Amino acid sequence: MKTEITRNVVRDLWALCQSGDVSADSRALVDAYLATDTEFATTLKETAKMNTLIPGVTLSPDAERRMLDDARDQARIKLLLVGGGLAILLLALCGALVLIFRAS
């Protein structure tokens, strides 16, 4: 059974080929496909050139920890807001029930 290789498969493998994280068989498969589809090969090579023009983002060593701390703080605030809202709603409901039972 022969499996057809599509542009999508080659596009997925292309990034791995560029980084060197692909097996020799996969590399040969990509090279063979690109030899038959020169237009697509040109598009991929132009895309690779464009990626080198985009500057990489450099984060400080503790940036991940600070982002995690910020996310925890935001989650804590949301929890307090939701919990506070539910507490107020519960108090209002209890007050309404007290008023109903006193009236009857």
Distance CA 61, CA 53 (A): 24
pTM (2 decimals)?
Answer: 0.49
pLDDT in tens, 60-104: 888 889 999 999 999 999 999 999 999 999 999 999 999 999 987
What are the residue ranges spanned by the domains of the chain?
Answer: 1-56, 60-104
Task: Classify each residue of 20-39 as buried b or exposed e, where b means 16 or more C-beta atoms within 10 Å of its C-beta.
Answer: eebeeebeebbeebbeeeee
pLDDT number for residue 94: 95
Residue 1: pLDDT above 60?
A: no
CA neighbor of 40 nearest in space, from 77, 13, 65, 80: 13
Distance CA 29, CA 17 (A): 11
Q: Hey, what's the torsion of the CAs at 18, 21, 26, 29, to 10 degrees?
A: 10
pLDDT in tens, 31-68: 999 999 989 999 988 887 777 777 777 778 888 899 99
pLDDT number for residue 5: 85
